Amino acid sequence: MAVIEKRSLKRKVKQLGLLEHKFQDNVVVASMDKLLGWARSTSPWFFQFGLACCAIEMMATAASRYDLMRIGMIPRSSPRQADVMIVAGTVTMKMSLRVKKLYEQMADPKYVIAMGSCATSGGPYWQHGYHVLKGVDLVVPVDVYIPGCPPRPEALIEGLLKLQEKIQAERPLTKKTA
């Protein structure tokens, strides 16, 4: 009995390591630019803060059901440790200066996602909301806009994947950007 168990365990271990023992010792050749682009695009840490209702969708996206960490997105509480700022919610005039300040505290290279119609253009407040900024791109440069009020978690994930594509296409060493 013990022998049979040992054999089946060995078979399972073999099945798990599909790539194991499939290659000889080898060398992978790629440009340093591409390797850096790949590494940076698969580990963008995002700044964890929310401004209004869109932030609830952002939290849901980071929670267990959608699990943002699957695509390398890890939340950070400090702008100094973050690569991506997700502006999730209504940016009031009062808050806009704080958003700009937080953006400036992030280290380069840094990216911004405008999540939802408020962050993109003022949303439901675009006409009569005297207190609302008509798009966060008036104070910080935006890389990806995600439409919706609020956008669903799938939309946010799509936007983040687009950002990852953009980062991957960058060539930081040769200074060419996508």
Decide: 137 and 111 in contact? Cβ < 8 Å: no
150 binds ligand SF4 (CB under 6 A): yes
Select 82 or 114, whichever has its Cβ closest to ligand SF4: 114
Instruction: Name the residue type at position 86.
Output: I
Q: How far apart are CA 89 and CA 94, in angstroms?
A: 14
Q: How many CA atoms lie within 13 A of 95 on its CB side?
A: 17
Residue nearest to ligand SF4 (CB): 118
Residue 121 CB, shortest distance to ligand SF4, in Å, is 9
Nearer to ligand SF4, 43 or 96 (CB): 96
Q: Which of 58, 51, 46 is nearest to 83 (CA)?
A: 46
Which among 11, 148, 134, 160 has a CA at the least distance from the CA of 71?
A: 160
Which residue carries 């798990």 as its tokens? 16
Query: In the bound complex, what is the minimum distance in angstroms from residue 50's beta carbon to ligand SF4?
Result: 9
Write the interaction track for ligand SF4 spanning residues 102-121; mark x where CB under 6 A is met and - where it is not.
Answer: --------------xxx---
Q: Does 131 bind ligand SF4 (CB under 6 A)?
A: no
Question: Residues in contact with ligand SF4, total (CB under 6 A)?
Answer: 12
For ligand SF4, give the closer residue by CB, 52 or 102.
Answer: 52
Rounded to 5°, the CA angle 100-101-102 comes to 90
Task: Report how far residue 10's alpha carbon sits from residue 127's, in angstroms, rounded to the nearest whole number.
Answer: 67
Among the listed ranges 3-11, 48-56, 60-68, 161-169, the one in contact with ligand SF4 (CB under 6 A) is 48-56
Contact between 61 and 157 (Cβ < 8 Å): yes
Min separation Cβ 99 and ligand SF4, Å: 14
Please give the Cα distance from 43 to 104 (Å, whole number): 21
By the rule CB under 6 A, 159 interacts with ligand SF4 = no
Is position 141 an interface residue for ligand SF4 (rule: CB under 6 A)? no
Which residues bind to ligand SF4, rule: CB under 6 A?
52-54, 89-90, 116-118, 123-124, 149-150
